[in-house]
């Protein structure tokens, strides 16, 4: 997921949650870039949406912090992704 695309959708919709929904509706079964400021918090929100079936993703991308520790935390929250 290109960051510029998310920023563009957010600029139009004004809401990060709407951005994820809009992106995933056009690019289903995709990899999502988790927020670089609090990836664990974003992963926690994604868990709810994935479990409800309102969002389907095949992977997540992490690009900051301690990637080993962060990836382990995210994997615990999203074990099937």
Tokens 């997921």 sit on residue: 1
The confidence score (pLDDT) of residue 69 equals 93
Mean pLDDT of the 44-71 span:
87
- Over range 34-63, report the average pLDDT: 84
Cα gap 55→27, rounded to integer Å? 11
pLDDT above 90 for 58: no
Kindly list the distances between the CA atom of residue 60 and the CA atoms of 11, 14, 19, 28, in Å, as whole numbers in the listed order. 22, 23, 16, 13
For residue 34, give the DSSP letter: P
Q: What is this structure's pTM? A: 0.70
Distance of alpha carbon 48 from alpha carbon 66, whole angstroms:
25
Q: Say if residue 76's pLDDT is above 90.
A: yes
Average pLDDT, the chain: 81
């Amino acid at each position: 997921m290109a960051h510029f695309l998310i920023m563009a959708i957010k600029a139009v919709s004004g809401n990060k949650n709407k951005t994820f929904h809009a992106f995933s509706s056009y690019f289903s079964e995709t990899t999502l870039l988790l927020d670089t400021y609090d990836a664990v918090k974003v992963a926690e929100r994604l868990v709810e949406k994935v479990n409800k079936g309102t969002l389907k993703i095949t992977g997540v991308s992490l690009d900051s912090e301690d990637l080993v520790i962060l990836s382990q935390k995210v994997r615990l929250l999203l074990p099937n992704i």
